[in-house]
Structure 1
Amino acid sequence: MLIWTARVSKKTKAVVAVILAGILAAAVLLLVGRSGGGQDAAAWQLTGNADRIAYLESMGWQVEEEPVETLQFLLPEKLEEPYLTYNELQDSQGFDLSACCGKQVARYTYTVTNYPGRPEGVQANLYVCEGQPVAGDILCAGADGFQDTLVYPEQD
């Protein structure tokens, strides 16, 4: 049987604790960053059109250079329908509109050019509050239309 002992000062213990805490924090940030959607949206500052396009491209979408519509509106102090239902869709991708209650929100609508199996008729809505993405969806109107999250669909 072998017994090994070592004398470690309080200073050394503190340094090791700080290093381990840093490694743990880096691991948490890495895992949160990999979860996609709005989880890392706070890292984006969308101050101009190029920033918004870059954000959508980071999600896998290719869009036309200029938005087809821009809309500014004041989000109510308390979310009610239809915002509550829409916020459920947003929650599934890591966004939460309730953080913007009572604030000015801008919606930018872009034409999507790379939706799998749909060469036209698909749009991306991106909602921005105080320079940060707070919601978004992919929309296709019509009889066989749909509304989905910004998460790029996996192809079969």
Structure 2
Amino acid sequence: MLIWTARVSKKKTAVITAVILVAVLAVVVLVGNQADPAVSGLPQLADNEARVSYLQSMGWEVDPEPVETLQFLLPEKLEEPYLTYNKLQDSQGFDLSTACGKQVSRFTYTVTNYPDRPEGVQLNLYICEEQPVAGDILCAGADGFQDTLVYPTEETD
């Protein structure tokens, strides 16, 4: 059995403690930057022009001005109907839980290029801190639907 002993002065202990604290602080700062919206890879949608361009990049053509704009505070914890709606969002890479307890804006646009539906289709885009957190396409009525923002492609046989 080998036993090591070392004498450590108060000065060395203070230096070692300071180095550990600096390392922990550096990790906290780096992790904090990972949550920064600019680092997340999501588009910054600060104005209507950016939102419309974003939707066009997904294949959607919309009237340039929203037909409705709504702001609301998302609850601290998701409950129904938000839980069901978030399942739709998960399927397209969004997650409403990242906006819990925050102010969210909903912009509703009229869609002009939905396949086989020349009118009556709307698109909702939910923005929190200038980033998209949710979105859906919907059509009201007897043969209505609600779907993701993924542009529908015609299937070939």
When normalised by structure 1's length, the TM-score is 0.73
Contact residue 42 and residue 132 of structure 2 kept, 8 A: no
- Report what 1:61 is aligned to: 60
**In structure 2, what residue type is equivalent to 1:94?**
G
1:114 partnered with 2:113: yes
Query: Runs (4+) of structure 1 moved beyond 4 Å?
Result: none
Q: Which has the higher contact order (CA 8 A, sep 6+)?
A: 1
1:133 partnered with 2:136: no
The residue correspondences of 1:7-26 to structure 2 (distance < 5 A) are none
CA RMSD of aligned residues (A): 1.0
Contact residue 59 and residue 151 of structure 2 kept, 8 A: yes
Structure 1: any 5+ residue segments left out of the alignment? 1-40
Residues 58-117 of structure 1: CA distance to partner in whole angstroms, max 9, x if unpaired? 110000010000000000000000000000000000000001000000000000000000
- Report what 2:96 is aligned to: 97
- Report what 2:78 is aligned to: 79
**In structure 2, what residue type is equivalent to 1:108?**
F
Q: 1:83 to 1:133 in 2, by over 3 A?
A: same
Structure number, greater radius of gyration: 2
Residues 16-70 of structure 1: CA distance to partner in whole angstroms, max 9, x if unpaired? xxxxxxxxxxxxxxxxxxxxxxxxx843100000000001001100000100000
Once the 2 structures are TM-superposed, how far is the Cα of residue 155 of structure 1 from its aligned partner?
1.6
Partners in 2 of 1:65 and 1:97 — Cα distance? 25
- Report what 1:155 is aligned to: 154
**In structure 2, what residue type is equivalent to 1:75?**
L
Residues 119-153 of structure 1: CA distance to partner in whole angstroms, max 9, x if unpaired? 00000000000000000000000000000000000
Contact residue 109 and residue 123 of structure 1 kept, 8 A: yes
Q: 1:152 to 1:109 in 2, by over 3 A?
A: same
User: What is the SS of the residue equivalent to 1:137?
Assistant: strand
Aligned length: 116
Partners in 2 of 1:138 and 1:154 — Cα distance? 14
Contact residue 138 and residue 150 of structure 1 kept, 8 A: yes
Structure 2: any 5+ residue segments left out of the alignment? 1-39
